[in-house]
């Protein structure tokens, strides 16, 4: 590992991180003792929200592909993105839309902030495929800065005219408001309670008319019990990950390409949080980037931990958390089918969380 940062704790790194959302994420990791991201690759809103609600306690990031969801509700106030944002607040995780933008600057700006999904409104983090060149990163950074400025203005307006407080939420099948909070139960019992939650298809579609954008202008106190203990709401800043290395067999991302990604990231430290990569790309003393790493699985419980992991037969290659976090210095593992195809996804998520956390502890020597 080329940079001593890989030996630092997440809390130490949070203190030095330049990007407000990176600093928040690193602190969240320390609070939840989780360096796990769930890749929620399912096909309906109900499945997505159910996963977010049951696995939320084990993760710090929930990764979406909104275009996999057949019935994604685009309504900005109470659609799928807004509902997800509410669950993100309740369980304290960030939302990462894995959009892999890859077009000219003007188009990616419009895709990010306009169009159907209005990704920037509900997703704290997104990512870019840098094939079109650095201009795509520049353009996304510019769009995020303008969005942030507009939000600042909207917040002011809201406060001046007086914003109604959120009403209590209602649900016909799973009332997320009566779910005990981590504060009431303690973190471990809270996770166990979520894991035990019945896995029937849940209709959270009727949860509320009062969902907020991902970062509400309202204060932490006003949400009271809806927020997570030990950490405040995330900052309003949005973040970008650059797709610098891929997990898929035979991909075309050469060293030169990866180096260009790092160069671009250094030019936008106030927007680029880090990379999707297979190894830490922090090489200079000042680098504070976060690396999030897909292509992660654990061998089944009854199989020897050193057994070679099979790919998925469609190009995907897998490594264990031990290798990805412990040896390659990555920060967060991204796991999809390893968790969601398990007989008990919430319990499996805990198995992954513990394995990735132990790999980190071993790495920093604690």
The structure tokens 């997570």 sit at 228
Under rule CB under 6 A, which residues in 65-84 are in contact with ligand S5P?
Answer: 65
Closest approach, Cβ 249 to ligand S5P, in A, equals: 11
Nearer to ligand S5P, 169 or 340 (CB): 340
Active site residue 98: yes
Identify whether the C-beta of residue 357 lies closer than 8 Å to the C-beta of residue 60.
no
The rounded distance, in Å, linking the Cα atoms of 342 and 55 is 13
Under rule CB under 6 A, which residues in 238-267 are in contact with ligand S5P?
Answer: 246-248
Examine residue 345 and tell whether it contacts ligand S5P (CB under 6 A): no
Kindly provide the residue ranges of all beta strands, DSSP E only, lying in 19-124, ordered along the sequence: 36-39, 61-64, 94-101
- Tell me if 316 is assigned to a ligand binding site: yes
Active site residue 175: no
H/E element, 261: helix 255-267
Under rule CB under 6 A, which residues in 2-31 are in contact with ligand S5P?
Answer: none
- For residue 29, what are the contacts with CB-CB under 8 A and spacing of at least 6? 10, 35, 60, 331, 332
Nearer to ligand S5P, 31 or 333 (CB): 333
- For residue 98, what are the contacts with CB-CB under 8 A and spacing of at least 6? 39, 63, 64, 65, 126, 127
The rounded distance, in Å, linking the Cα atoms of 48 and 243 is 24
Nearer to ligand S5P, 207 or 340 (CB): 340
Size of the site for ligand S5P (CB under 6 A): 16
Under rule CB under 6 A, which residues in 105-144 are in contact with ligand S5P?
Answer: none
Examine residue 335 and tell whether it contacts ligand S5P (CB under 6 A): yes
- Tell me if 365 is assigned to a ligand binding site: no
Examine residue 338 and tell whether it contacts ligand S5P (CB under 6 A): yes
Active site residue 100: yes
Burial 177-210 (b: 16+ CB within 10 A, else e): eebebbeebebeebbebbbeeeeeebebbebbeb
Examine residue 97 and tell whether it contacts ligand S5P (CB under 6 A): no
Q: Is the dihedral of CA 259, 264, 270, 275 positive or negative?
A: negative
Examine residue 41 and tell whether it contacts ligand S5P (CB under 6 A): yes
Under rule CB under 6 A, which residues in 260-319 are in contact with ligand S5P?
Answer: 276, 294-295, 316
Q: Rule CB under 6 A: choose which of 22, 39, 208, 264 binds ligand S5P.
A: 39
User: Which residue number places its CB atom closest to ligand S5P?
Assistant: 336
Identify whether the C-beta of residue 282 lies closer than 8 Å to the C-beta of residue 6.
yes
Catalytic residue, chosen from 33, 73, 103, 134, is 103
Residues assigned a catalytic role? 98, 100, 103
Residues forming the site for ligand S5P (CB under 6 A): 39, 41, 65, 98, 246-248, 276, 294-295, 316, 334-338
Task: Give binding residues for substrate as ranges.
Answer: 41, 63, 247, 316, 336-337
């Amino acid at each position: 590992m080329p940079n001593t940062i890989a030996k630092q704790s997440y809390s130490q790194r949070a203190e030095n991180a330049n990007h407000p959302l990176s600093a928040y994420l690193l602190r969240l990791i320390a609070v939840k003792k989780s360096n796990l991201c769930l890749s929620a690759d399912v096909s309906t809103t109900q499945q997505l929200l159910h996963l977010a609600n049951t696995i939320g306690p084990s993760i710090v990031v929930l990764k979406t592909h909104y275009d996999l969801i057949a019935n994604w509700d685009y309504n900005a106030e109470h659609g799928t993105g807004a509902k997800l944002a509410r669950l993100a607040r309740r369980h304290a995780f960030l939302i990462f839309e894995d959009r892999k933008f890859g077009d000219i600057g003007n188009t990616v700006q419009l895709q990010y902030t306009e169009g159907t999904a209005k990704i920037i409104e509900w997703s704290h983090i997104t990512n870019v495929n840098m094939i079109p060149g650095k201009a795509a990163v520049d353009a996304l950074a510019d769009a995020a800065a303008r969005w942030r400025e507009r939000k600042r203005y909207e917040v002011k307006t809201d406060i001046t005219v007086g914003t109604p407080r959120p009403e209590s939420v209602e649900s016909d099948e799973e009332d997320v408001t009566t779910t005990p909070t981590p504060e009431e139960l303690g973190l471990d019992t809270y996770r166990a309670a979520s894991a035990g939650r019945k896995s029937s298809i849940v209709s959270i579609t009727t949860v509320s008319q009062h969902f907020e954008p991902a970062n509400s202008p309202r204060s932490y106190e006003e949400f009271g019990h809806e927020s997570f203990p030990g950490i405040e709401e995330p900052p309003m800043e949005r973040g970008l990950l650059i797709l610098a290395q891929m997990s898929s067999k035979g991909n075309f991302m050469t060293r030169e390409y990866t180096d260009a990604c790092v160069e671009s990231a250094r030019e936008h430290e106030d927007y680029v949080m880090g990379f999707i990569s297979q190894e830490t790309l922090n090489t200079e003393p000042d680098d504070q980037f976060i690396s999030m790493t897909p292509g992660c699985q654990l061998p089944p419980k009854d199989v020897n931990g050193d057994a070679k992991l099979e790919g998925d037969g469609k190009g995907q290659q897998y490594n264990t958390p031990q290798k990805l976090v412990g040896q390659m210095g990555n920060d967060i593992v991204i796991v999809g089918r390893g968790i969601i195809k398990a007989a008990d996804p919430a319990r499996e998520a805990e198995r992954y969380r513990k394995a990735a956390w132990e790999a980190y502890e071993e790495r920093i020597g604690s």
